[in-house]
Amino acid sequence: MTGEERERIEDALDARLAELVRTRTAMLRSGDGLRGSELADVDQHLADGATDLYEEELEETERLVLDAEERRIDEARRALADGIYGTCRNCGQAIPRGRLEAVPEAVRCLDCQRHFDGYQRQRARVS
């Protein structure tokens, strides 16, 4: 890998991380609303409580997704530093350039990523 390619990859990872930070900041701002204010403690209709619970769960899910994305960016940075960026961490095959351009934080080829995601979903159902 040339220095120019490495710099391009680092820039792509930096841009993706900056996008995550902007998204997280926007989520925090939008969640400030009435939560924690005096009006939040006023008795509400049961359906309002259900809506609040749904929104809290949705925010938590979004936070988990962003945390996972940030971990993938860190993994890609480590792979870059170790000289193995672009190699699937599961099967050892080269990750196609098109995938890396679309998802610079990818550490698995598409087939291995599908298997990994399926395994994670099955584990989540069992827990």
The per-residue pLDDT for range 91-100, each reduced to its tens digit, is: 999 999 999 9
> pTM for the whole thing?
0.73
Computed on alpha carbons and rounded to an integer, the radius of gyration of the chain in Å comes to 20
Q: Do the beta carbons of residue 107 and residue 73 sit within 8 Å?
A: no
The mean pLDDT of 92-109, rounded to a whole number, is: 94
Q: What confidence score (pLDDT) does residue 34 get? A: 47
**Residue-wise pLDDT tens digits, 31-90:** 655 455 545 555 566 777 777 788 888 888 888 889 989 999 999 999 999 999 999 999
Rounded Cα distance, 43 and 40, in Å: 8
CATH number of the domain at 31, please. Answer: 1.20.120.910
6-10, 70-74, 120-124: the lowest-pLDDT one: 120-124
Rounded Cα distance, 3 and 98, in Å: 20
Q: What confidence score (pLDDT) does residue 42 get? A: 57
Which distant-in-sequence residues (6+ apart) come within 8 Å of 107 by Cβ? 72, 75, 76, 79, 88, 89, 95
Give residue 87's domain range. Answer: 3-126
Tell me the one-letter amino acid at 42: V
Domain count, the chain: 1
User: 105 in helix, strand or coil?
Assistant: coil
